[in-house]
Amino acid sequence: MEVVVGRRPGVFVRPVSMEEGRQLQRISRTAKDPVRLRRAIVVMMSAQGQSVPDITSLMQVSADYLRDIIHAFNERGLDALDPKWNGGRPRANQ
């Protein structure tokens, strides 16, 4: 019986179109929201072929967070960069 132990396959974003690449660059230069900025940089680094461990060490984020961003971008495109704020205390009725 042979046991094969291998490393997990790398996670990368899907091929990014020229327009998406331009928008990612624009977001990385002009974004006011730090969450959106961080996500755009992560996607750009992955599109350039950087591995998950390299990105996590440079950006100081967890590998799980990074994989979540990459999978979300692959499914929803640039909409995945926008934070989805929810929860918290309900608004008071006045």
pLDDT-derived band of residue 87, with 50, 70 and 90 as boundaries?
confident
Q: Indicate the pTM of the whole model.
A: 0.77
Residue 29: both structure tokens together: 């230069």
| Torsion of the alpha carbons at 57, 59, 63 and 69, rounded to the nearest 10 | -160
**Amino acid at the residue 47:** A
Q: Give mean pLDDT, residues 60-81.
A: 92
Q: What is the pLDDT of residues 7-61, one digit of tens each?
A: 455 677 889 899 999 999 999 999 899 999 999 999 999 999 998 899 999 999 9
5 pLDDT exceeds 60?
no
Residue 34: both structure tokens together: 């730090």
List the domain boundaries for the chain.
Answer: 34-81
Q: Report the pLDDT value the prediction gives residue 94, as an integer from 0 to 100.
A: 65
pLDDT-derived band of residue 4, with 50, 70 and 90 as boundaries?
low
Q: Report the pLDDT value the prediction gives residue 84, as an integer from 0 to 100.
A: 77
**Can you tell me which residue has the tokens 């790398």?**
10
89 pLDDT exceeds 90?
no
Contacts of 46 (CB under 8 A, 6+ apart): 11, 12, 13, 55, 70
